[in-house]
Structure 1
């Protein structure tokens, strides 16, 4: 590992900090400071400008999520690697939203931690195997966002509504979706009824407010 990587360790347990510091020193990494809580990490990160902040999440005196958010906002070049005992989805995704580039559990081995520090310093995103599986499962199980809009409509009706929102006529919709104009008229009537709108103009307003029809009409 490059000896040029400079790390700030943030954890409220002195014994853990000392152990991690020894591990990183053995790998040729310079530990430029140690913080006991989030606010201290923010202050030291601004002062020392390390390449990586290794961040615990739940600490007395200020949590790691807020510290991560502040550090990544004020010093975007600094990478935050979360190293914690917490494996729950709320903690993982809160850290990701706050800007953490990596998330490892404290049970991770030395090689895994070393690889993560190097990757985060290089601007990459890295997650431990268990965390990566959780993230993948989360996104695999996410509902189709198109179905979250107007769930009362069928997939075909949503397609028709999106084209209505683009200002397409029934004839143009029929040509685009390879349907008869009669079928399109039936879909349009069902859409109006389900959305409780009186006409095409109201349907366009409702659809565009929901983010449909943003592409340019052909």
Structure 2
């Protein structure tokens, strides 16, 4: 095993790692997405399928999974209105209303009983202003694996916030998506690679597979 692979395996040790899925919900990445272009990018690029693979592998390796969901009350109370993005979202035909099908975790991702789901009613980040940091610390998290959407806003927010809070961040580049399609690799190469370990879904799966205890007959 090369030095870089060994370092990644150490970073991804199951007892200190949490897998974060960002806005992988029906109303964002599902067939009836409020943002059809983004939803299509997540599905057609294979990013959503790779998130599902990572979640399944995390369950097998006993890596904690945390799903970050963005939603809003039907009356909009507490929601941001201080940016163009928020104002545009409030007018979309599909709304991420609390309790609606739009805020359910999207297929093919399977949510296990031990998974944690953190829902936010405001802001751009899955971490800042939510329970995520406290939960990560209570779980003994040292490394946060960030996946999901979008590479335009929420994913880089999550990465920067996690790094600022002292976590090591790993980003499987083929498990995040944004628009347009060519923006995601450019953002990963020129921004996220400066602060996170950029890898692939298969490399993460290999690390977790290698970390599973060998069963003895």
Q: TM-score of the superposition, structure 2-length normalised?
A: 0.39
Larger C-alpha radius of gyration, 1 or 2?
1
Q: TM-score of the superposition, structure 1-length normalised?
A: 0.39
More helix per residue: 1 or 2? 1
Structure scoring higher RCO (CA < 8 A, sep ≥ 6) equals: 2
